[in-house]
Amino acid sequence: MGAGEAKRLHEDTLRMREDWPILQPNTSLNPSDRQVTYLHELWRQSEFGADYGVDPLAKLKEKAEQYAKDGIMVHIDEDSNEGGQNWAVLVVTPIMLRTHATTAAGEIIFVDSTASVESTESSTTVMLAATGAGAIPLGIFIHGSQTTSCYTKAFNLMKQNYPNCFGGKSHPEVFMTDYSNQEKDALSALWNESMQFLCHFHVAQAHWRWLMDSKHDVSKDKRRDLMTRFQELMYAIDTEMFEEAKDNFMSCNHEKYIKHVDTWLEFKEEWVQMFRADILYRGHNTNNYAEATIRVLKDIILERTKAFNVTAMVNFIAVVWEAYFECKLLHFAYGQKSGPYKKYERLTKKMPEGAAELIQKVDTDFYLVPNEKLVEAAYEVDGRIGWCSCPAGRGGAFCKHQCLVQQVYGGLFPNKPAIDAKSRYELGKLALGEKCPPFSFFIGLKEKVTEESMETIEKSPEFDERFSNTDKTTTPNENTTATESETTSENVPEINVKLREDLNNELQRIHDFGQFSPEHNEIYEKAMTRLIKRMKRVHNPAQASLLMPSLSSSANTRRCGDINLQPTATSRRRPGVTRGCKRLKAGRPKVAEPPAKKAKRAAKLPRNIASHIKSNKAHITKH
């Protein structure tokens, strides 16, 4: 909230009082604009530090300990010997920490960067996993520039502090990126065991821009044909199709473009479709999850306004963005989004009638589903990992054959939409952690779940360990603190004895309150049981600090510079949409009649003649 917004809110609050006309001129109760601006400057400096030209990380280092008490881990690494730009910050919130333990975090990770979202012109990079509710970050990186050294320094913070953040593994199966050499080099240097895929949209966009560039001498009538030939290469699903498309492309008689594509064929494993078969990338061929997340950051979290500095940007991530992801996950967990149900229903309608009777169960969670076009052929379906041998399901996407098997036999199918109580319960645990309601809360009115399965899920340690902030497989290293230069545990002083006595006295006082209120005895016992259960999970000093309650910092929404657009962004917009950098409206447009066309003003001949107007004409024409 800026100074002007704060003053208006304060005046609206005072206006509710009867003596408002008398209070308005009283500057001790209703400060002037200049006073509010001055107070806002003082508050901003105390919360986010000084303005431009000063060390942007100085204030962040002070606030990192406060964030750690709220469960928000801020890791800083800087090198003052390289011009002040080689620094990096990693922010991991409780939801991100719980996402580290999900299965999706070990399959495909989306990485993308954006710049100019805060006044110091640093870059912000997101690292996302695809869950049943969409993309959820594993961590947010803020770094000085988009060089290989800065990317390496930023990603190294994740590798050092969270070595098993990819679903309990040291690396994911696939990284999905756009064509950024600096970003790709840093990822391969730290996680060379993972494969790297290029976003099909960005690959096609890069080639179309090459064809549109006038210096490459490509005529307009040949651009579409050359682009079609290249797309045949990119979408080839087997060796035969690839060789046929390659021969067709080489006959295009454009040497410059052939040489250009030859350089891309040197790393064809990253963008040709056939090299993605039998890899669990869940059918994601584009980086759309990352692009949508960046738009959420700019449009919803920052409201198309740059943050004041790095400290303010971290505050937006820790407070505003964390609340957004929690609300998003709960919408899917409570079944308030119709997307998963519509997708499941759409897939069920694709299979012909009677196909369910022809399914053959070969082994546990392994089935043969007949091909609807070739009766003698069948597709293999593995419900344990969510895989099918059909073209759509070979990459791990949820296809119509898996949908049919899941509808008839049930099964795990980790890639299915979140339509059952167990999947929604997992999203609820991901959003709320230990505060999540019990499993029975997520069961639908018409959903049938046996009591035995309910007890198995509720008492299973799998959910408590996977979606707990204190899980040993996802908790940062024991020496992890706010900054990389913090002191070790040997230098930490012993807790004061008086503080320990005060803590015991306050706990006893609160316990006495519960005994003196018989009507709230049941509620008090449940609350204390939950607190004791949470305290028993603390096994080291870092976990003890996470347990300590404290107030979170308020978010700053002061307007700085607007977040600019990419040069080609406005040219792709439909007619009627603003060409500026304001937030675009989303969703179904309002149903309204089109505006009436403004009619021309009729010429008033009698009046003009009476006024002795010489050039009197009904219409402006030349004779």
Q: Residue 127 has what pLDDT?
A: 96
Q: Residue 364 has what pLDDT?
A: 84
Q: Which residues contact 271 (CB under 8 A, 6 or more apart)?
A: 197, 198, 200, 203, 234, 264
In a domain, 504, yes or no: no
Amino acid at 367: Y
Q: Do residues 67 and 31 both lie within one domain?
A: no
Q: Do residues 260 and 343 both lie within one domain?
A: no
Q: Do residues 445 and 391 both lie within one domain?
A: yes
Amino acid at 451: E
Rounded to 5°, angle at Cα 559 from 585 and 15: 90
How is 558-589 classified by DSSP, letter by letter? ---SBPPPPTTTGGGSPTTS-SSSSPPP-SSP
Asked if residue 390 lies in contact with residue 398, where contact means CB atoms within 8 angstroms, the answer is no
How is 411-472 classified by DSSP, letter by letter? ---TTS-S-SHHHHHHHHHHHHGGGPPPGGGG--TT----HHHHHHHHH-HHHHHHT-TT-T
Query: Which residue is it, tokens 């006595």?
Result: 501
Q: Do residues 25 and 104 both lie within one domain?
A: no
The span from the CA of 26 to the CA of 28, in Å, is 5
In a domain, 305, yes or no: yes
The beta strands (E) that lie in 144-200 are given as 174-177, 195-198
CA-based torsion, 320, 549, 94, 119: positive or negative: positive
Nearest partner of 49 among 59, 62, 63, judged by Cα? 59
Q: Do residues 126 and 33 both lie within one domain?
A: no
How many whole angstroms from its chain centre is CA 482?
23
Residue 28 buriedness (CB in 10 A; 0-12 / 13-18 / 19+) = exposed
Q: Do residues 132 and 9 both lie within one domain?
A: no
Rounded to 5°, angle at Cα 107 from 364 and 362: 15
Q: Do residues 40 and 177 both lie within one domain?
A: no
User: Greatest CA span in the chain, whole angstroms?
Assistant: 103
In a domain, 86, yes or no: yes
Q: Do residues 361 and 454 both lie within one domain?
A: yes
> Last residue of some domain: 449, 464, 479?
464
In a domain, 9, yes or no: yes
Q: Beta 123-131 vs 108-115: how paired, if at all?
A: antiparallel
The span from the CA of 283 to the CA of 172, in Å, is 16
> Last residue of some domain: 464, 481, 509?
464
φ/ψ region of 383 (left if φ > 0, alpha if ψ in -120 to 50, else beta) reads alpha
In a domain, 579, yes or no: no
Q: Do residues 250 and 361 both lie within one domain?
A: no
In a domain, 98, yes or no: yes
The span from the CA of 194 to the CA of 173, in Å, is 5
In a domain, 549, yes or no: no
The span from the CA of 431 to the CA of 358, in Å, is 40
Looking at the structure of the chain, the number of domains it has is 4
In a domain, 344, yes or no: yes
Nearest partner of 307 among 38, 557, 37, 140, judged by Cα? 557
3-state helix, strand, coil in the chain (%, to 5): 45, 10, 40
CB < 8 Å & 24+ apart, contacts of 491-494: 492/541
Q: Do residues 105 and 41 both lie within one domain?
A: no
Q: pLDDT below 50 — which residues of the chain?
A: 470-493, 549-559, 623
**SS3 (DSSP) at 599:** coil
Q: Residue 479 has what pLDDT?
A: 42
pTM (2 d.p.): 0.73
Q: Residue 550 has what pLDDT?
A: 35
The span from the CA of 75 to the CA of 91, in Å, is 7
Q: Do residues 405 and 354 both lie within one domain?
A: yes
| CA-based radius of gyration for the chain | 30
How is 540-562 classified by DSSP, letter by letter? SHHHHHHHS--PPPPPP----SB
The span from the CA of 306 to the CA of 601, in Å, is 46
Q: Do residues 211 and 270 both lie within one domain?
A: yes
What are phi and psi for residue 110, nearest 5 degrees? -100, 130
- Angle, helices 322-333/421-432, rounded to nearest 10 degrees: 160
CA-based torsion, 29, 32, 36, 39: positive or negative: negative
What are phi and psi for residue 305, nearest 5 degrees? -130, 135
> Last residue of some domain: 464, 491, 521?
464
Rounded to 5°, angle at Cα 178 from 85 and 579: 85
Which residues constitute the domain of residue 244?
A: 202-276
Asked if residue 546 lies in contact with residue 474, where contact means CB atoms within 8 angstroms, the answer is no
The dihedral formed by the CA atoms of 603, 609, 614 and 619, expressed in degrees to the nearest 10: 20
